[in-house]
């Protein structure tokens, strides 16, 4: 936050990207090998999928664009909602109909 405050006068925004679980060559053995962690990612991520590198790239493009001029001191989590889902287990915490 300190850099955000110090550099704002120069019209420099200080933000970060917090990537979630991203489908890359490094994560392929987990995603494709029947690893139990893949099941955890798939069930705990509201988006129901691993992120793609393009998802993170698009967030970077947004933060580098004019559209984000008033976004400052922020971490943009690109995680399919998994951080919002801690403590929630699909089917166990659902709101009754």
Q: Which residue has the tokens 């392929």?
A: 28
Is residue 91 pLDDT above 70, yes or no? no
Q: Answer whether residue 24 is part of any domain.
A: yes
Is residue 1 pLDDT above 70, yes or no? no
Q: Answer whether residue 29 is part of any domain.
A: yes
The band of 50, judged by pLDDT with boundaries at 50, 70 and 90, is very high
Q: Answer whether residue 13 is part of any domain.
A: yes
Residues 6+ apart with CB under 8 A from 78: 17, 18, 19, 20, 51, 55, 56, 59
Q: Answer whether residue 97 is part of any domain.
A: no
């Amino acid at each position: 936050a300190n850099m955000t405050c110090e550099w704002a006068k120069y019209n420099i925004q200080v933000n970060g990207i917090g990537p979630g679980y991203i489908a890359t060559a490094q994560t392929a053995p987990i995603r494709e090998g029947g690893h139990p962690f893949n099941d955890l990612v798939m069930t705990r991520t509201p988006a129901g999928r691993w992120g793609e590198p393009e998802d993170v790239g698009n967030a970077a493009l947004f933060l580098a664009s004019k559209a984000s001029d008033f976004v400052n001191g922020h971490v943009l989590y690109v995680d399919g909602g998994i951080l919002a889902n801690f403590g929630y287990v699909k089917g166990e915490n659902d709101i009754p109909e």
